[in-house]
Amino acid sequence: MKIKLLFAALVFLAQQGMAQEWLVPEDQKSVQNPSEYNLDNVKKGKDLYLQSCKSCHGDPGKNNALPLVPPPPDFTSDIMQANTDGELFYKITHGRGGMPQFETTISEDDRWRLVNYIRNFNPENEPVLVEEPPKKAKILASVNEEQRQVEVFAEYQDKDSNYVVLAETPISIGAKKAFGTLPIGQVLTNDEGRAEYHIPESLIGDEQGMVTLVIDLGEGFINEDVVLDAAKVGQPKPTPKLIQKEVLWSTNENIQVWLLLSYLAAVLGAWGTIGYVVFLIFKISRAGKQE
């Protein structure tokens, strides 16, 4: 019995070990990447990465992937880079276990661009997309309630640690909601580092129409998010009544008045009739005695 159990355990372990290795069909392994390794493709690959991969794999090089089993490898890691282009493409396409399949959600060309992006971190390759270290930045912002616009001024710290205006940079504007910040728009700064964002009419605020705005520079800058306290620039949020008192025989608390009244009237009427009949019987018997 014990030997049998041990054998079963061994078989199980062996299977587990087999399952660890992600086998890619031989003919798929050697497929060449049809997408050229250039800045354009790598940039597109990065956008896709931010959208679909980052939530599990983390930031490349920072080893901050989600603690899943098996762990999603960092894009810069040897495990990742040891794959051939064909293997990477196959794995992105079909997925396995915790890794989703992207066959239906990302086009073939774009999956190859993702492979381009992964190769950007291969030590044997000349990286085409070099990430500059994030710069320190400052944002000043204010809301003009009358004209319903946000005025932003941004500057960043250059090499000599002087603050200079930040030109031609996208600034994202969001509105605080119950559980997160809803992005509402983006605006480019001009040569003076200034930008004006016109708040759309349809933006919903709280019951009074107050909106808390969050102004943020994209990645590549270190700055504190600027949070503009509630400004009256949104539509007041609708708060329709949800509960109708259409509960039937539940409790007195929930009952509708017409129902309660008609019930009471019926009960009183019935008892009244009975009482009246009894009263008449007494009356008859008394009349009989008097005779």
- Rounded to the nearest 10 degrees, the angle between the axes of helix 108-119 and helix 39-52 is 100
**Residue 248 binds another protein (CB under 8 A):** yes
What is the pattern of x (binds another protein, CB under 8 A) and - over residues 106-145?
Answer: ----------------------------------------
Q: Which of 16, 20, 239, 290 binds another protein (CB under 8 A)?
A: 239
Nearest distance in Å: CB 101, another protein? 6
Q: Is residue 69 close enough to count as binding another protein by CB under 8 A? A: no
Tell me whether residue 235 or residue 273 sits nearer to another protein (CB atom): 235
Q: Rule CB under 8 A: is residue 247 a binding residue for another protein?
A: yes
Among 206, 209, 227, 230, binds another protein (CB under 8 A): 206
CA-to-CA dists, residue 90 to 38, 44, 161, angstroms: 21, 19, 47
Question: Closest CB to another protein among 5 and 243?
Answer: 243
In whole angstroms, how close is the CB of 34 to another protein at the nearest point?
23
Among 237, 278, 282, 285, the residue binding another protein under the rule CB under 8 A is 237
The single residue among 34, 61, 70, 98 that binds another protein, judged by CB under 8 A, is 98
Q: DSSP string spanning 202-233?
A: T-B-STT-EEEEEEEE-TTEE-PPEEEEEEE-
End-to-end CA distance of the chain: 106
For another protein, the binding residue among 251, 257, 258, 287 (CB under 8 A) is 251
Establish if 278 lies at the interface with another protein (CB under 8 A): no
Round to whole Å and give the CA distance between 239 and 119: 52
Position 290 contacts another protein (CB under 8 A)? no
**CA-to-CA distance for 128 and 10, rounded, in angstroms?**
48
- Residue from 38, 105, 125, 285 touching another protein (CB under 8 A): that is 105
Q: Does 100 interact with another protein (rule: CB under 8 A)?
A: yes
Binding to another protein, residues 11-40 (CB under 8 A) = none
242 makes contact with another protein (CB under 8 A): yes
Rounded (5°) CA angle 118-216-230 = 145
Q: Rounded distance, CA 136 to CA 249, Å?
A: 66
Cβ 86 to another protein, closest distance in Å?
21
- What's the full length of the chain, in residues? 291
What part of residues 143-182 is at the interface with another protein (CB under 8 A)?
174, 177-182
Gap between the Cα atoms of 121 and 61, Å rounded:
9
73 contacts 121 by C-beta, under 8 angstroms: no
Helix axis angle for 85-94 and 108-119, nearest 10°, is: 130
Phi, psi of 62 (to 5 degrees): -100, -5
Dihedral of CA atoms 241, 246, 249, 254 in degrees, nearest 10, equals 30
Min. distance of Cβ 259 from another protein in angstroms?
13
Preceding peptide of 183 cis, ω within 30°: no
Rule CB under 8 A: which residues touch another protein?
55, 66, 68, 95, 98, 100-102, 104-105, 174, 177-183, 204-207, 237-243, 246-251, 253-254
